[in-house]
């Protein structure tokens, strides 16, 4: 599979906020008093990033003609999503500072592949494209992973990116449930990432005779009486989330997250949580929220270490900042509903006091200032309670 396909090479080192180029380091701005003042130089991080990473969501590749979403309001570009992944790879490979890793936020291939017996072939295509840029990829699992593969198949697949634990080191994944796909990794001292399994409690990927399937069915039936459980139970409001294409986090996983965050609090680490389903109602449409989003929000709010939560699933994307905790909630626009002449990927540069998202195509540039870090920046995005 070709690695090419991008149209515009990335510019040389560039301040993402000032939109001006620099010849050497990404933070080539040293004189805070010179030149025009729009925007002010204080908006520019004064140092090179500690590290950076790429983000991409909902590629949903399938070798089929374009189609539409369930309500026929959005076009889906199944075949050209592979081309857009190629654009992202090219962008990351050719950037002045190559990302240290990529976060693939789930739904890497579409459920239609299963119907055509093409699941393995489609997965090979996207993984081949992803391997063009020799950078570590952390995979998140979404509903479309489970439309194509069982949970046990996924655990044995290349979509299981759980790092090997060093002998004697502290466990970086939940002790229970055993087949929960969640883990912690640290790409740089003082910074941790936690991949969460949003379908740990779900009807998807489970054998219908299993206890977990029965428990998930009982839960969703308390809220959704529709014959087709992919139909939301109510026309609007938070109750819309109780559909079969969503899921939730088990108590075992939440208890483990709580302990990981307590340890991170003690060490004054910055933690970014990633999963397929959004958990803040102001960062997405209610129909895309995790079933027990409120439990996860409550845990996040009880710890000082979390700086950002990233998700996919809602192809329109979304963002809000919790005004009480300062945590940023980003839902990334999906590749699958991005026209072939646009793009949907980003690169996040991480500094001591902030993360800076440089978006491409439909992805907006954003600054995620860490709570407690003072700045002259005007945070123009939505604040939410
Ligand atoms: Zn999804």
Tell me: the pLDDT tens digits for 357-373? Answer: 999 999 999 999 999 87
Instruction: Tell how far the Cα of 58 is from the centroid of ligand 1, in angstroms.
Output: 7
What is the CA(205)–ligand 1 centre distance, in A? 14
The reported pLDDT for the residue numbered 350 is 98
Assess whether pLDDT exceeds 50 at residue 379: no
At 307, is the pLDDT very low, low, confident or very high (cuts 50, 70, 90)?
A: very high
- Going from the Cα of 334 to the center of ligand 1, the distance in angstroms, rounded, reads 9
pLDDT score of 283: 98
For the segment 178-190, what is each residue's pLDDT rounded down to a tens digit?
Answer: 899 999 999 999 9
For 240-274, what is each residue's pLDDT tens digit?
Answer: 999 999 999 999 999 999 999 999 999 999 999 99
User: What is the pLDDT, as a whole number, of residue 108?
Assistant: 98
Distance 57 CA to ligand 1 centre (A): 9
Tell how far the Cα of 343 is from the centroid of ligand 1, in angstroms.
19
User: 105 CA distance to ligand 1 centroid (A)?
Assistant: 9
What pLDDT score was predicted for residue 219? 97
End-to-end Cα, the chain, rounded Å: 46
Fold of 55-384: Purple Acid Phosphatase; chain A, domain 2 (3.60.21)
Q: Can you give the residue ranges of every domain in the chain?
A: 55-384
pLDDT value, residue 33: 34
Report the alpha-carbon distance of residue 221 to residue 241 in Å, rounded: 12
- Which pLDDT band, with edges at 50, 70 and 90, does 36 fall under? very low
pLDDT at 168: 54
Banded model confidence at residue 175, pLDDT cuts 50, 70, 90: confident
Average pLDDT, the chain: 86
Which residues are in the CB-under-5-Å shell of ion ligand 1?
Answer: 107, 142-143, 313
What is the reported pTM?
0.86
pLDDT at 12: 28
**pLDDT tens profile 284-305:** 999 999 999 999 999 999 999 9
Number of residues that this document lists for the chain: 385
pLDDT, tens digit, for every residue of 58-99? 999 999 999 998 788 999 999 999 999 999 999 999 988 789
Tell me what pLDDT residue 169 has.
57
* Percent of the residues in the chain that have a pLDDT greater than 90, as a whole number: 77
pLDDT of 29 > 50? The answer is no
Contacts of 317 (CB under 8 A, 6+ apart): 331, 332, 333, 334, 362, 363
Q: Using the mean position of ligand 1's atoms as its centre, give its distance from the Cα of residue 45 in Å.
A: 34
How many A from CA of 68 to the centre of ligand 1? 15
Rounded distance from Cα 49 to ligand 1 centre (Å) = 31
């Amino acid at each position: 599979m070709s690695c090419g396909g991008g149209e515009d090479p990335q510019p040389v080192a560039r301040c993402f906020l000032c939109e001006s180029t620099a010849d050497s380091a990404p933070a080539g701005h040293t004189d805070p008093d010179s030149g025009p003042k729009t925007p002010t130089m204080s908006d520019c991080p004064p140092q090179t990033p500690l590290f950076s990473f790429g983000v991409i969501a909902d590629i949903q590749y399938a070798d089929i003609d374009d189609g539409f979403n369930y309500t026929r309001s959005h076009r889906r570009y199944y075949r050209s999503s592979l081309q857009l992944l190629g654009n992202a790879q090219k962008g990351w490979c050719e950037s002045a500072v190559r990302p240290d890793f990529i976060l693939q936020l789930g739904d890497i291939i579409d459920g239609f592949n299963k119907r055509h017996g093409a699941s393995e072939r489609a997965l090979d295509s996207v993984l081949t494209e992803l391997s063009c840029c020799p950078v570590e990829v952390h995979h998140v699992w979404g509903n479309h992973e489970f439309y194509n593969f069982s949970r046990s198949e996924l655990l044995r697949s290349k979509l299981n990116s759980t790092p090997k634990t060093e002998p004697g080191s502290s466990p970086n994944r939940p002790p229970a449930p055993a087949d929960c796909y969640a883990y912690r990794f640290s790409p740089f001292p003082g910074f941790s990432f936690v991949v969460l399994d949003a379908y740990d409690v779900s009807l998807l990927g489970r054998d219908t005779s299993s206890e977990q399937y029965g428990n998930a069915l009982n839960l969703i039936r308390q809220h959704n009486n529709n014959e087709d459980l992919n139909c939301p139970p109510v026309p609007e409001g938070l109750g819309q989330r109780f559909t079969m294409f969503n899921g939730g986090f088990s108590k075992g996983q939440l208890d483990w997250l709580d302990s990981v965050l307590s340890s991170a609090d003690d060490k004054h680490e910055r933690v970014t949580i990633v999963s397929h389903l959004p958990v803040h109602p102001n960062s997405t449409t209610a129909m895309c929220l995790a079933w027990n989003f409120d439990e996860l929000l409550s845990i996040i709010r009880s710890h000082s270490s979390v700086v950002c939560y990233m998700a996919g699933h809602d192809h329109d994307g979304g963002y809000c900042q919790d005004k009480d905790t300062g945590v940023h909630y980003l839902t990334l626009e999906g590749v699958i509903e991005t026209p072939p002449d646009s793009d949907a990927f980003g690169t996040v540069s991480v500094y001591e006091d902030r993360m800076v998202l440089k978006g491409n195509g439909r992805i907006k540039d954003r600054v995620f200032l860490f709570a407690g870090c003072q700045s002259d920046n005007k945070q123009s995005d939505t604040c939410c309670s």
